[in-house]
Structures are given as structure tokens and as C-alpha cells.
Amino acid sequence: MNQKEMYLTTGEFARLTGVTKHTLFHYDEIGLFSPAVKGDNNYRYYTVSQLDVFDVIWTLKELDMPLKEIKSYLEHKSPRALLALLEKEEAIIDGKLTQLKKNEKMAPAQKTVYHRRAGAGLH
């Protein structure tokens, strides 16, 4: 390990990022986010500079982006690719919002129908 770089154990990195060690192990297993160094003792060590990359991953995940898409972006990352990815995700979110608004309007109408049927003994 490089003595000038500050290394963090999996537990330390997990605490700093607010995720579990299991999440970091999983991300490593699927090739999404790997530690900077794997020691001879099989311990995983992360660098402070990896916090920025992890922040991007976590932000995209919070937008409900599939891990497969996040991985693809990281393999070909560029400002243009990130913008395209965010625009695509924005369109998906807009579609979900539209559907939720329809559902929001439909639920009270369905309750009214149910109450009318219940009042008429037709449940």
C-alpha cells in the first residue's frame, strides 16, 4: 500500500458513507465499486478519494437507477454521459409522477363507488 495515501477499512468507509459493509461487499462482487487495495489478509481498503465516486453511485441509486446502469455509466463516464443518464432518469420519474397523480385521483372515486355499494348492500 502507498504510504502517502490514506486508507480506510471497509467498516470505516461504510460509516463515512452511511451504508453497510454488506453493501460495499456486494458492490465489489458485482464489479460496481471495488476497494483501492485488497490486502494479503483479504481485508479491503478504500481511499478517501473514492468517496467522490461513491457519492455519485449513491446519488444515482437514490434516484432509483438500476445498479447495472450505474455500472455502465462508470465504465464510460463523462459529463455528457452523466447528463444523458440524468435526463433519461428525469423522464422516468416524470412518467411515474404522472401515473401517481392518476392513481391519486382514482382512489377517492373508487372509495365513493365502494361506499355507495356498501350503503346499498351490494358489496
- For the entire predicted model, the pTM comes to 0.75
Residue 31 contacts residue 71 (beta carbons within 8 Å): yes
Residues 5 and 39: beta-carbon distance below 8 Å: no
Q: Are 85 and 73 in contact (CB under 8 A)?
A: yes
pLDDT in tens, 61-96: 999 999 999 999 999 999 999 999 999 999 999 999
**DSSP-based three-state secondary structure for 37:** strand
In this prediction, residues 16-45 reach a mean pLDDT of 96
Read off φ and ψ for residue 118, nearest 5 degrees. -65, -40
How would residue 119 be classed by pLDDT, with cut points 50, 70 and 90?
Answer: confident
What local confidence, expressed as pLDDT, does residue 3 receive? 59
Q: Is 99 exposed, middle or buried (0-12, 13-18, 19+ CB in 10 A)?
A: exposed
Q: Is the dihedral of CA 107, 92, 28, 45 positive or negative?
A: negative
Res 114: pLDDT:
84
Helix (H) or strand (E) holding 13: helix 10-17
